[in-house]
A and B are shown apart, each in its own frame.
Chain A
Amino acid sequence: MSSLIKEFKIKAKDFIHAGEGSMEIRNSLKSLNLDADIIQRVSICAYEAEMNVVMHGGDGIISLVLDDTGVVVEVMDDGHGIDDINLALTEGYTTAGAEAQQMGFGAGMGLPNIVRNSDYFKIYTEKNKGAYLIMCFRLKNKIGKDCQGRLFTIWNNNKRDGES
């Protein structure tokens, strides 16, 4: 199977279109008749990561790569970054504002949900450069290759504020 690659834009604070990238990713996987369990896990992780960008990040991209060993989802943004990754990974910890919390977001469950539902997860962040997150999901009975992303170099080469 040749690999499928899709990319969707995420806009900061755009709650109207929030989740649409994740829904497109889910539709892509569904149309290929992937196992229901992996579609569920990818959907949960993609949505949590996408909502993190909408709530906390700058503008960003969510990308899907599917080949015959598994699914890779990458999310990057150009926001202010995550101050303390360990805190962000702690269940219940959130920096979401009151408005987001009233909408049912900001329960501090996003990254913990991603850790639980992905087979591989890694996050990079730098102050004023945003965050880059990669999540991998192995297909049943497939030996996973090294999980590699496409967007990391692009994100990593982004200029920080004030850099010439």
Chain B
Amino acid sequence: MSKEELIIGLYSLAPLIIAGITAAIILVISAAGESRAGSGRLRAVNAAEKLSYLAFTAMAFISAVHFIKIKGPLTLFHNAVFFDHYSAAAGFIFSVMGIFTIFIAASEMKSESSRFQPEYYALLLSAAIGSLIMAMANDLLAAIVGIEILSFSTYILCALDNKNKRAVEGAFKYFLTGAAAGALFLFGLAHIYGGAQTTFISEIPSMAAVNVQGPGPGAPLLIGLVFITAALLFKAAAVPFHSWAPDAYDAATVSVAAFMTYFVKAAVFILIFRIFAAAFIFMASSITGVLSVIAVITMTLANIAALYQNNLKRMLAYSSISHTAYMLIAVICSAGVYKNAVADCGAYIIFYLVSYFFINAAIFSALAMLSPGENRVHTIEDLKGLGFKKPFFSASFSLALLALAGIPATSGFIAKFFIFYNAFLSNHHALVLLAVINSLIAFYYYIKIIMAMYMQKPESGETAVSFGNAGRESAICLAVSSALIIILGVYPEVIVKLAKLAVISSF
């Protein structure tokens, strides 16, 4: 490796290096003794929090610089990773997500009664490393390493409250399905190698054309694609691979559940789109039919299941499963008939992820304000009568729920509109119709929460939940995210334009 290659390699991996070093420092702080309980724990948590803020801010800054400075797509480290606008944009999004997660976690971490250790922040950073590798991966082997780093961090985050039976159980269920998904991915990877003699995303189309005789893509490639898609759908929680999601969300604390809704989902979809659009677009027709059926079943089942939920986190889990289906529609359309299908769909997926991120940041920071530090179950009854007692909280929370449902003038509406309109252009009319019907069903359960807040009185006369003192960071996060939901709803052009630029230059 020449000196120039080494320098550009270090430059491209700078966000990962920063995250890795900071995570190591936090682990040392955490292990440095007398930090297990009381004021020692609090001091260590504060130090770790500051460090991870700094790290995520630096990562966001460096990713922004990458985004501005990169001329065109590059592959580094013997083709193992891409260094392009797409990966830089993803890096920026992940870093901002990390910062928001720290804000949401503040009330859980900093209350006196909290048992959480500073490792929390190290795990967030290592999850960011995994997702960055997923965004950059050119070699499918690098992709699986990224997936596993992200997943392992998430399993541990989910089980972090290790004195809590529910947390351990949820984490174990998540782990078991996640490990099976990893095995599916590796099995698929092996067969893709068998079909194309390469595992590089950028080389699969040309190598497949050389190596496969006869009509069609050949059995090994098809088996490989099916298994890899199944594995990624597992991670994205699409039906029939969704059963872990409600349990894991329910078991995790509020901030970790928030992290799982936007961070893990974003990382998985950024990888799905890269694999689908860059490697397998030539054999997309053999799989879009199945994917469409999966998308329809996913949104229908998830929305119907959500109707019967009283536990807020489980309901949000089913809602997140239904949003997976909407993003899947965009993935399907990227194999569409018209000219800019890939660029448009990629941009709309990125916009959807950004919009979904702000909406969920708002919702979960509101939940974090409700009962700081405890890992208790939030039910819809808890919210009764809050409406006019806590005007700021209730208004922002309602706004976020309406955005999730897709009311015009919020980012949720624009994001859905882009994807549905695009599907309409790609002649997936039935898919659009079913998706719209499903969005209408979803209205019901979002409105149910808002009605509980504004129109119903709690039975005992007093509201069931209290607001803690440690909720300041969560309140800031709620305010910022709510503002961004409106801003993106009114001016989506900036993000869409940047996303389109990123996708066009990278694919």
> Does B bind A?
no
Interface residues of A (CB under 8 A from B): none
